[in-house]
Structure 1
Amino acid sequence: MKFTKQLIVAILFITSFISCEKNEDDLNISLNEETISAKWIVEGSSDYESFEYNESGNYIIVKNTTVKSTKSQIVLFGTYQIIDNKTIVLSDFGTMSISNIEENLIGFLINLDSNPANEITVNAVKQDEIANSTKTKLLCRTWELVSFGETDIGDFIILFSDAGTYFVEGGSESGEGTLGTWKWCNPEETKLAFTVDNFLDCDGLEIIEEIQLTSDSFTGIDMENGEPEVMVMKPVSSVKLTRVTKPEIDKGILGRMY
């Protein structure tokens, strides 16, 4: 009888251990490009302000600096790869181990490539998103600029997200980029405004009009310095990483990139 009781206790202990181990490995939501795609605002005191991912496979990380100026804000841009239901590798940055992800909350540990022994704990909340629509879904991805009026362009990458982020990279060997915000200006979603100073003006010059979107193309008219320029883009993924110090820029979607 005593042996039977000991056996039952042992079985219950093993079952409980396996159950706990399984629960620790499980997340509330299946981890994929769709569920991670968002701008996550870091809570509390941290070296980081936000982590953002899109379904094109790119990330944008905004890092806080000791200088109290957005012009000195450090931005990291690169690609990410989901390894399993808890692990994401961010190119040339580090590895994220996700402990919890819900519809509007995420918790994870970061092991930096530069210091893998040091774990950084991050808790973040999802930023509100622009109202979902067919055109918003088509716009919000990573694009490659194909042409911009008569300008002799280099390699430009332009990213829009449904968190209201826009990011431009390219055109200079220094790797400088532009980080800002955008919004639709009309119900038809054929005109948008963008800015780097948090003032979105649909009647200003920082706008793109007559936007036409498909699953594989973007066409619009950029009012760069008051002069209309037809811009054409195509979707891309797996864009390289760069380290960006947010610069002073001129007007227009390309800023001072050329």
Structure 2
Amino acid sequence: MKHFFFLLFTITFLTILLISCDEDSPNQKPIAAFSINDSSAFIGDTMTFVNLSENAASYMWSFGDGVISTEENPFHIYSTKGIFSIELMAINEEGVDTSSISILIEKKIIDKETIIGKWNVESQNKVQYVSFEFNDYGNFIIELQNTNFSFGFYEILGENTIELIDLGIINFTEINETDISFKLTPYSNQANVITIGATKIAVTNNSAKSKLLCRLWELASMDGNAVESYGIETVVGFSNSGTYFVYYSEDDNSEEIGKAFWTWKDASEEYMCYSWEETPICDGENVVSIDVSETELITKENESISKFRPLSSVYSKNTNHVPLKQNKVFNNILGK
């Protein structure tokens, strides 16, 4: 029995001694280290950081743009371009160690924010093209010579490429707040790559209601009658630069297209004025009541009510039509 108690005492003593020695021995100094998912990225990309530090009790990250974090494995999104030095401090009672890595953050050459607007083509390309326009709804409108238009939907494919659905590919080579340069490859003739430069046209109508209006619309009904009963298809595309076009086709495949001008009558933006010849003067005969939302456009002119829905079919029109003169149905905002 004595041997049992002696053995128990010895084990207990040695355990206490080992714990005491461990508590009294100094900690090891921290070693800071980390990795990142990429050494370069674009504004808006999510950067992730993997902490590889040793012997640390806490951490302090500095991302080089004024933002800090104390998380062990943080993530960060940069909002400006530049070269940023990311620094990690690994900390314990014995000291501090640091590690740093530099990262290049670039601005994507294209996104909806950078391409939205109407771009007036420079003179050397005006033999064929007048302007290119992209809006926030994914619509494009291309004005060609002789009052022709191509229109439809675009999709951003990469850092500098968009597809004009069914029409072709645009590869941007330069873009800033006022100018763009790109190469257009039409699907109809892919060997004919066209280099185009264009300058941004000033916005004349930039209110919240204008942004709702400026997109592609298809006519749904007139005075309560579904448009199908007329055997026609009508698409209207408004631009916040103060122009719009009307595309009109009938079941017999006859097509017309025309360009007009518009402006709000006053600051209330309840009425629009239009002209088929020049910048409109609101003299009463060319004034249209406008009610617009994300899902519907309603116009009222001379007691006639037209309702439009957003153009929803993902298709494009490469037009080559006779000018819109005096169509068989309209003599108003939709036709001369």
TM-score bracket for this pair, using the shorter chain length: 0.7 to 0.9
**Counterpart in 1 of 2:142?**
61
**Counterpart in 1 of 2:261?**
181
Aligned pair 1:240/2:325, yes or no? no
User: Structure 1 CA distance, aligned partners of 2:270 and 2:308?
Assistant: 15
**Counterpart in 2 of 1:170?**
248
Q: Name stretches of at least 5 consecutive residues in structure 1 with no aligned partner.
A: 1-25, 65-71
Contact 1:97 1:109 in 2 (8 A): yes
Instruction: Give the 3 Å change call, closer, same or farther, for CA 118–239 of structure 1 in structure 2.
Output: closer
Contact 1:107 1:124 in 2 (8 A): yes
Larger RCO (alpha carbons 8 Å, 6+ apart): 1
Contact 1:88 1:97 in 2 (8 A): yes
2:124 is paired with a residue whose SS is coil
**Counterpart in 1 of 2:211?**
137
1:45 is paired with a residue whose SS is helix
Larger radius of gyration: 2
Aligned pair 1:110/2:189, yes or no? no
> What letter matches 1:214 in structure 2?
S
2:316 is paired with a residue whose SS is coil
> What letter matches 1:120 in structure 2?
I
Which stretch shifts more, 212-221 or 183-192?
212-221
Contact 1:79 1:241 in 2 (8 A): no
**Counterpart in 1 of 2:130?**
49
Residues 148-192 of structure 1: per-residue CA shift (max 9 Å, x gap): 225663332222121222122234222322222211111100111
Instruction: Give the 3 Å change call, closer, same or farther, for CA 188–29 of structure 1 in structure 2.
Output: farther
In the superposition, the TM-score normalised over structure 2's length comes to 0.59
Select which of 77, 81, 89 maps to 2:163: 89
Q: Quick one: percent identity of the two aligned structures?
A: 32
Contact 1:142 1:158 in 2 (8 A): yes
Select which of 145, 148, 160 maps to 2:238: 160
> What letter matches 1:216 in structure 2?
T
Contact 1:27 1:100 in 2 (8 A): no
Aligned pair 1:229/2:327, yes or no? no
Residues 84-115 of structure 1: per-residue CA shift (max 9 Å, x gap): 12111223432111011111211101122233
Select which of 184, 187, 201 maps to 1:127: 201
Superposition RMSD in Å = 2.4
In the superposition, the TM-score normalised over structure 1's length comes to 0.75
Following superposition, which runs of at least 4 residues in structure 1 exceed 3 angstroms of deviation? 26-30
Instruction: Give the 3 Å change call, closer, same or farther, for CA 192–92 of structure 1 in structure 2.
Output: same
Contact 2:122 2:198 in 1 (8 A): yes
Residues 99-147 of structure 1: per-residue CA shift (max 9 Å, x gap): 1111121110112223322322111001111242121122112222222
Contact 1:166 1:194 in 2 (8 A): no
**Counterpart in 2 of 1:101?**
175
2:319 is paired with a residue whose SS is strand
User: Structure 1 CA distance, aligned partners of 2:177 and 2:131?
Assistant: 17
Q: Name stretches of at least 5 consecutive residues in structure 2 with no aligned partner.
A: 1-104
User: Structure 1 CA distance, aligned partners of 2:256 and 2:236?
Assistant: 13
Contact 1:217 1:234 in 2 (8 A): yes
The number of residues matched between the two structures is 219
**Counterpart in 2 of 1:219?**
298
> What letter matches 1:161 in structure 2?
S
Which stretch shifts more, 97-106 or 86-95?
86-95
Q: CA deviation at 1:49?
A: 1.4
